[in-house]
Each structure stands twice: as structure tokens, then as C-alpha cells.
Amino acid sequence: MPQSCPRNSPGRANLFAACVTVFSVAVLYSSFDPLPAGEDNTSLRAAPTEITIDETPVPLPINAAPASDVRTTGNDNDLQAPGEGLKNAVHGAQVTEGGMLNSQETNKFCLLMLRDGARFLENVEDYSGNFHKAERIGGDLSPRQDIAIKVQHKPHFAVYMKWQNGERGRQILYSDEYDDGYMVVKFGGFKRMLPALKIDPESSLAKAESRYSITHAGVLGMLRQIVADRDRDLKRGHGFSCTRLKDQEFDGRNCFCFMVKYDSMEFSKIYRKNLILIDSQIHVPVKVRNYTWATDGEGLSDQELDKVTLIEDYSFTGLDFQRRLVAREFSRENPLYRM
């Protein structure tokens, strides 16, 4: 007489266990919010970071002045004086044939504009936006990373970042409020269920993924680095050329565009060429492309040379200087960050 198969076979038991495991992982995965507190998903649109810049020189404007219709914590009058300096720099500049400023005067104008932008940012308590970067680390240019960013200048410096592509969901929080000096990293992607780590921003581990420390993150940090370079060139007075290019529209902002080229590594060990887009109203840089020296650039066109020597490409989009951020958006204890 044939025997009936047992109702609870090992195969069925394994299948049931697998289904339970998949369901449990799905529940855990879905328990993580895709966006941080207060983040607007519609603002994280594809950024127009890939733009073509016409490198034809053009004269400098004679009516550049800072905007006063933006939120600051200080007196708007504090932002007006630099505008006069910008206009005076143009009126008193040495003009070459065709109405063009010479390289030194163009660099001076660029530097005054950036210092005006720094003054504006230093009076902004906090802001949010999107940061886009591609860096050459260890010889390889990384894919572009799109990162939602929140920055606080006062009462202490703090920055929160959340990746929107690549290792999507990855978070980094750094704040001067904490005495340990560490940044907290919460992994994204398939590693998001791992516990957060505390990492020294100056450690080799941190520098393996970024050319600059998070302690210099944000528009103001980038601006200060550019100012240091322009100031060094101004004081030396030779070994470089600074040219104003045709204005560009970037992320809905009209921007002045400047190009700096160095004669040799004697004058700039890392950079061969810089392209800088500066918002024409508030005078802050919104896009920077930096190119290094080629080990063997013989026979390459200018476009090919730029492609193989691009070392840093940074841009900011969706900058919001109006909406006030709250303290918990820079707190390790924020439950939405799960740090």
C-alpha cells in the first residue's frame, strides 16, 4: 500500500523560513526614512552641473554690486560697502586694448567680489541645498556624487550631509558642539543597518574618500580656499593669467565666470587651471572646476587635456538662505538620522 508524503517536508520548511527572512529584511529596510527631517524630495532634482563654458575673454562689468534683499543676521548696510570697492576696482583699473582689464586687475576684481561674498555668508546663520562633487583620488576620477547638505555657521559650525545617489542614504554629521571632534558616519545602501561610526575628519580613512575635510565643507569653506589662492597670486603678481569669461546661467542664477591659468608648477603645484562661476548678485561661488598638470599631455587638444586632468568638480544647487534650520537638524540625537 503506497505511503503518503509527510505534510511538513524539509523543502517546504526551508521555503517558509526564506519567505520570513525576506519579509523581515524588507520591514527593516523600509523602516529607514529616505529623506532627513524637513527635506523636500522635489528639490533634489537632477542638477545642471555639466555645462559647457565658453573660454572667450569679455570685459568686466562696471555696475557689479552686492544684493541686499537676502536674509542676514547683521545690518544690510554692512553688505553695501564692498560693492563700492568692486566698482572702484573697475574704474581705477588698468585697461588693455579693446577695453579689457589686465590679468592682475581682473584677479583683483575677482578677489574683491569673493571677499564680498564671504562677508555675506558670514552673516548667514544657516542654509540648505545640494552639493555635487567629482574628485580625482588615487589617480581615478570618481563618479559624480549628489548630496543633500545643511550647514550652520552660528552659534557653532555644523554640517549634515545625505547622499542621494551612489551609496544612497549615507549620512555624515559633524558639529563643533561636540568636544570629541569626530564626525558620525551612518552607512547607506545595503550597509544602512550597520551601526554608525565615529571617525576623525583628519584621519587617513576620511581622506581616502574626500580631498578636503568636512570641517571645511559648504560654500564658505570652498570660497575661503579660492580667496587664499587668488590672494597668493595677487601678492606674487606673475606666473598666472586671470580672465573674465562670458557670463553663465547656472541653476537659475546669472554668474560671472573667471578662468585662471598657471604658467608652470613653480607657481601652482596642484592646479594648472581653474574655472570659477560666481553668483552675480550675492558673489558666492556656485561652481568650480580645477585641473591639474598632465604627466604626458603631448598631442592632446585643449578639450582632451582638460578631460584627463580634471581633478575637482564642485557645485552647489538649490541653495536656500531663507529657511531657518533648527538645532536638532545638527544633532546626533535626532531620531530621524538613527545615528
In the chain, where the domains are located: 76-124+218-317, 125-131+141-216+324-330
Q: How confident is the model at residue 166 (pLDDT cuts 50, 70, 90)?
A: confident
Residue 85 has pLDDT above 50, yes or no: no
CA–CA separation, 209 and 204 (whole Å):
9
DSSP 167: S
Residue indicated by cell numbers 581653474? 274
CB 66 within 8 A of CB 82: yes
CB 200 within 8 A of CB 182: yes
Q: Higher pLDDT residue, 178 or 159? A: 159
Nearest to 149 by CA among 216, 205, 228, 248: 216
DSSP 57: B
Q: How confident is the model at residue 60 (pLDDT cuts 50, 70, 90)?
A: low
Q: What average pLDDT does range 51-72 have in this prediction?
A: 56
Q: How confident is the model at residue 99 (pLDDT cuts 50, 70, 90)?
A: low
Return phi, psi of residue 153, to 5°. -100, -35
Q: What percent of the chain has pLDDT over 90?
A: 49
Strand partners, 271: 292
pLDDT tens-digit map of 185-210: 988 877 777 787 898 888 888 888 88
CA–CA separation, 60 and 280 (whole Å):
12
Give the range among 52-61, 145-154, 217-226, 280-289 with minimum mean pLDDT: 52-61
- pTM value? 0.76
3-state secondary structure of 294: coil
CB 180 within 8 A of CB 200: no
Neighbours of 127 (CB within 10 A): 23
pLDDT tens-digit map of 35-59: 333 343 334 444 455 677 777 777 7
Residue 295 has pLDDT above 90, yes or no: no
